[in-house]
Every structure is written in structure tokens, then in C-alpha cells.
Amino acid sequence: MAELARHEEHFESLERQAQAARLGMWIFVASEVLFFGALFALYGAYRAVWPEAFHAGVRANALVLGTTNTVLLLGSSFLVALAVERLRRHHDRAAKWLVVGTLVVGIAFLSIKGWEYSRHFEHGIFPGGRGRHFEQAGPGQAAFFTLYYLLTGLHALHVGVGVGVMAVLARRIHVRTLTSTAPHGLEVGAMYWHLVDIIWLFLWPMFYLTRGGGGS
């Protein structure tokens, strides 16, 4: 039997503590939005300066891999949202396996991303406009791919942290230090995962879809 979850002394009730945890997480999410927002502004500025080079850069990226990763991350968000729903309805075991599923899909995303990076390296595309690809392509593509590495790299770092968070949450549900009596621990961790998903929803059109003229 799970013991009844107790709230910390400085909170009136467990519900108050849960709301404080959620608000704290929203403030963290808000600061991440500003962090990535600044980098998106930089992307917009360089894209305005070199529109053709950015189209060429997007065309050089693997549409299939980027789109596969979009569907994977959306699916993983759905899994962890279901995990929260299951835990709230006292199906702790189902919640644990849904969290494990989220973690596995996250690793699949990172594997595809890593394979994509290795393909770029083979094609002579490195950060900072280094590599033989840029002997022909101008400074615009160097800016495009440097931003690509910066933004997708930062995002992949977030996915990696998310995988770690999911592993900790699955373990906590397994050893019953996180149970349906206080499911907000999982909710807050899931919010981080959804944030990572949301960032990718913007990176996908920025780096894989907007290739100009509708040509493939």
C-alpha cells in the first residue's frame, strides 16, 4: 500500500504544493521560450539577409529524417500525456510503462539525429562554415548550417536531459516514491518533455520544410 502523500510543512495542502510546482515549471518554460526566441530572431535576421542560401540549406537537409523525428516527438508527447492521465486514475503500472515508452522514443529521436549529423560530416558540412561543402556555397549557407547545428544541438541536449528525467520518473514510480496520491511530480516532468516537443515543432519548418518555391 502506498502511504498517503504528505505535503511539505510550508504548504497548506498537497493541492497548493502541486499548484506551486506547476507554476514554477511554467516560469521555467517561459524562460526557455525567451532563450530559444532570441535564437529564432537571429535565424529570422540571417534568413532575411540570405534568403536563397537558406532555401538551399533547407534543400540540403534530409526531409524524411526531419519529418520522422517530428512524428516521433509528437508521439512521445502523447505517451507521456497518457502516463499522467493513467497515474491520476491510479493506474501506476501503466503510467510507468508509458514513461518508459517515452524514454525509448526519445532515444530513437536522438539516434536519428546523430545519424543525420554523421551524414552531414560525410558531406563536408561542419559548424562555422568549415568543410568542403562551403567551398562552393557562400557565407549564407555557413550561417544557415551554423544556426542549424546550434539550435538542433541545443534541442538534442534538451532531449537528452528529458531522457534522464524520464528514467528517474520511471524509477520513482517503480519504487513507489511517486504514486497516484501525488501525481504532480510526473506532471511537472512531463511538462519539460512537452516543452522540448514544442521547440522541435518550430525547428522542423525552419530547417526542413521552407525550401522555397515549393520545389523538392
Partner 1 sequence: MNDEQTELGLGAYVAAFLALLALTGVTFGLSFVPLGALELPVAIAIALAKASLVALYFMHLVEQPPSHRIAALTALALAAILIVLAAADVLTRA
Q: Please identify, among the stretches 16-24, 110-118, 123-131, 156-164, the one whose residues bind partner 1 according to the rule CB under 8 A.
A: 16-24
- Establish if 149 lies at the interface with partner 1 (CB under 8 A): no
Classified as helix, coil or strand, 152 is helix
Size (the chain), residues: 216
User: Does 44 contact partner 1 by CB under 8 A?
Assistant: yes
List 65, 81, 107, 154, residue binding partner 1 (CB under 8 A) = 81
**CB-based contact 95:86 (threshold 8 Å):** yes
State how far the Cα of 86 lies from the Cα of 80, in Å rounded to an integer. Answer: 10
Interface pick for partner 1 out of 138, 139, 164, 212 (rule CB under 8 A): 212
CB 170 within 8 A of CB 100: yes
Binding mask 98-137 for partner 1 (x = CB under 8 A): ----------------------------------------
Contacts to partner 1 from residues 48-67, by CB under 8 A: 48-49, 63, 67
Q: How far apart are CA 99 and CA 173, in angstroms?
A: 9
Among 5, 21, 74, 154, binds partner 1 (CB under 8 A): 74
Q: Shortest Cβ distance from residue 41 to partner 1 (Å)?
A: 4
Q: Which of 148, 123, 172 is nearest to 180 (CA)?
A: 172
How far is it, in rounded angstroms, from Cα 145 to Cα 86? 41
Kindly tell me which residue out of 23, 93, 123, 177 binds partner 1, with binding defined by CB under 8 A.
23
Residue 150 engages partner 1 in binding (rule: CB under 8 A): no
Nearer to partner 1, 49 or 161 (CB): 49
Q: Which of 2, 6, 26, 157 lies at the binding interface for partner 1 (CB under 8 A)?
A: 26
Identity of the residue, 136 or 215, whose beta carbon is nearer to partner 1 in the bound complex: 215
Cβ-Cβ contacts under 8 Å for 96 (sequence gap 6 or more): 83, 170, 173, 174
Binding mask 158-197 for partner 1 (x = CB under 8 A): -----------------------------x--xx--x--x
Distance of alpha carbon 26 from alpha carbon 21, whole angstroms: 9
Cell of 147: 544556426
The Cα–Cα gap between 31 and 7 comes to 27
Instruction: Decide: is 93 part of the binding site for partner 1 (CB under 8 A).
Output: no
Cell numbers given for 154? 541545443
